[in-house]
A and B are shown apart, each in its own frame.
Chain A
Amino acid sequence: MGKEGEALTTRLQIALPSKGRLMEQTLELFRESGLNVRKTGNERGYRGEIEGFANVDVAFVSASEIAANLKSGKAHLGVTGEDLVRERISDWKTRVELLKPLGFGFADVVVAVPQCWLDVSTMADLDEIAGGFRESHGRWFRVATKYVNLTRRFFSAKGFTDYRIVESLGATEGTPAAGSADLIVDITSTGTTLRANGLKILDDGVILKSQANFVASNVAQWTPSTRQAQNEIMARLEA
Chain B
Amino acid sequence: MVAETAREFEALEEQARTLLGVFIKAGHEAVAPAVIQPADVYLDVIGESLRGRSYVFLDPDGDELCLRPDLTVPTCRLHIERHRNGDRPAKYCYNGTAFRFQPVGAGAAHPREFRQAGIESFGIADREKADAATLALVFEGLRTAGLKDFKLRIGDLGLFRALLEAADMPARWRQRLMHQFWRPDAFRTELMRLTQSPADTPGGVPNELLAQLDPEKPDEAVQLVSNYLDSEDIEIVGARTVGEVTDNLLMVVADQRAEPLSPRTAALISSYIGVTAPARAAGARLKDLMGSEGVDISDALDAYHRRLQLLTEAGVDVVHADFSAEFGRTLEYYTGFVFEVIVPMLGEASPVAGGGRYDKLIRMCGAPHDVPAVGGAVHTERLLAAVRG
Alpha-carbon separation in the docked complex, A182 to B236 (Å): 12
Residues of chain B contacted by A176 (CB below 8 angstroms)? 237-238
Interface residues of A in 5-60 (CB under 8 A from B): none
State which of A116, A120, A203 has its C-beta within 8 Å of the C-beta of B229.
Answer: A116
Q: Is the CB of A119 within 8 A of B202?
A: yes
Complex: chain B residue closest to A114, CB-CB: B237
Q: With a CB–CB cut-off of 8 A, which chain B residues contact A200?
A: 204
Residues of A within 8 A of B202 (CB): 118-122, 125
Query: In the complex the two chains form, what is the Cα distance from A209 to B237 in whole Å?
Result: 26
Report B139 CB to chain A, min CB distance, Å: 33
Residues of B within 8 A of A181 (CB): 238
In this complex, the member of A118, A179, A197 whose beta carbon has the largest number of chain B beta carbons within 10 angstroms is A118
Given A155-B48, A165-B48: A198 in contact with B237 (beta carbons within 8 A): yes
Question: Considering only CB atoms, which chain A residue lies closest to B193 in the complex?
Answer: A124
Residues of A close to B88: CB separation below 8 A: none
In the bound complex, do residue A121 and residue B240 qualify as a contact, i.e. CB atoms below 8 Å apart?
no
Within 8 A of A (CB), among B225-281: 225, 228-229, 234-240, 242, 244-245, 247-249, 252
Q: 1/0 per position for A169-208, CB-CB distance to B under 8 A?
A: 0000000110101110000000000000111100100000
Interface status of B52 (Cβ within 8 A of chain A) = yes
Q: How far is the CA of A90 from the CA of B248 in the complex (A)?
A: 37
Nearest Cβ distance between residue A121 and chain B, in whole angstroms?
4
B294 interface contact, C-beta 8 A: no
Residues of B within 8 A of A120 (CB): 202
CB < 8 Å neighbour of B244 from A122, A132, A153, A159? A132
Give min CB distance, A27 to chain B, whole Å: 37
The smallest C-beta distance from B161 to any residue of chain A, in angstroms, reads 15
The interface size of chain A toward B, counting residues with CB under 8 Å, comes to: 44
The reply to whether B252 and A164 form a contact with Cβ atoms under 8 Å apart is no
B171 within 8 A of A: no
Known: A118-B249, A159-B186. A203 touches B203 (CB 8 A): yes
Q: Does A228 contact B (CB under 8 A)?
A: no
Tell me whether A197 and B237 are in contact in the complex, defined as CB-CB below 8 angstroms, given that A119-B205, A140-B44, A159-B185 are known contacts: yes
Chain B residues within 8 Å of A119, by CB: 202, 205, 245, 248-249, 252
**In the complex, are the beta carbons of A137 and B185 less than 8 A apart?**
no
Indicate if A161 sits at the interface (CB-CB under 8 A): yes
A115 at the interface (CB under 8 A from B): yes
Best-buried of A128, A129, A131, A151 by chain B (most CB within 10 Å): A128
Q: Are B52 and A116 in contact (CB under 8 A)?
A: no
Report if A152 contacts B (CB, 8 A): yes
Q: Which of A122, A164, A179 is B203 in contact with, Cβ under 8 Å?
A: A122
CA distance A153 to B240 in the complex (A): 25
Bound: A114/B238 CA distance, A = 7
Instruction: Verify if B17 is at the interface (C-beta below 8 Å from A).
Output: no
Set B235, B245, B252: member contacting A198, Cβ < 8 A = B235
Give the contacting residue for A116; candidates B49, B51, B185, B245; CB below 8 A: B245
Q: Could you tell me the distance in whole angstroms from the C-beta of A94 to the nearest C-beta in chain B? A: 11
Least distance between A152 CB and chain B CB atoms (Å): 6
Cβ of A148 under 8 Å from chain B = yes
Q: Closest residue to A202 on the B side, CB-wise? A: B203
Q: Is B47 an interface residue (CB 8 A)?
A: yes
Asked if residues B204 and A121 are in contact (CB atoms below 8 Å), the reply is yes
Interface contact B48-A118, CB-CB below 8 Å: no
The residue in chain B whose Cβ has the minimal distance to the Cβ of A175 is B238
Out of B43, B229, B236, B242, name the residue touching A164 (CB < 8 Å).
B43
Within A104-141, which residues are at the interface with B (CB < 8 Å)?
Answer: 114-122, 124-125, 127-129, 131-133, 136-137, 140
- Check if A163 is an interface residue, CB within 8 A of chain B: yes
Interface of A (DSSP majority class): mixed
- Chain B positions within 8 Å of A136 at CB level: 244
Q: Tell me the smallest distance from the CB of A175 to a CB of chain B, in Å.
A: 9
Nearest neighbor of A142 in chain B, beta-carbon distance: B239
Tell me the complex Cα distance, A234–B80, Å. 62
Contacts of A165 in B (CB 8 A): 48, 51
**Alpha-carbon separation in the docked complex, A182 to B183 (Å):** 24
Q: With the chains together, A125 CA to B187 CA distance in Å?
A: 14
Q: Say yes or no: is B175 at the interface (Cβ < 8 Å to chain A).
A: yes
Chain A: minimal CB distance from B210 (Å): 9
In the complex, B84 has a CB within 8 A of chain A: no
* B52 partner, pick from A133, A152, A164, beta carbons under 8 A: A152
Which residue in chain A gives the minimum CB-CB distance to B252? Answer: A119
The answer on a CB contact under 8 Å between A116 and B44 is no
Residue of A nearest to B178 (CB): A131
B179 CB–A CB distance under 8 Å: yes
CB distance from B117 to the nearest CB of A (A): 29
Question: Judging by beta carbons under 8 Å apart, are A198 and B234 in contact?
Answer: yes
Chain A residues contacting B285 (CB-CB under 8 Å) are none
Minimum C-beta distance from B50 to chain A (A): 9
With A131-B179, A163-B47, A203-B203 given, is the CB distance from A115 to B235 under 8 Å? yes
Considering the complex, give the chain B residue whose CB is closest to the CB of A125. Answer: B202
Complex alpha-carbon distance, A133 and B239, angstroms: 9
Task: Please name the residue on chain B nearest to A200 by beta carbon.
Answer: B204
Residue ranges of A at the interface with B (Cβ–Cβ < 8 Å): 90, 114-122, 124-125, 127-129, 131-133, 136-137, 140, 148, 151-153, 155-156, 159, 161-165, 176-177, 179, 181-183, 197-200, 203
A-B contact pairs, 21 of them (CB 8 A): A90-B103, A114-B236, A116-B236, A116-B245, A117-B240, A118-B205, A118-B245, A131-B175, A133-B240, A140-B47, A151-B48, A152-B52, A161-B48, A161-B332, A162-B47, A164-B43, A177-B237, A182-B240, A183-B238, A197-B237, A198-B235
* Interface pairs A-B: 10 shortest CB-CB: A161-B47, A121-B203, A198-B237, A114-B237, A119-B248, A198-B235, A176-B238, A159-B183, A159-B186, A121-B202
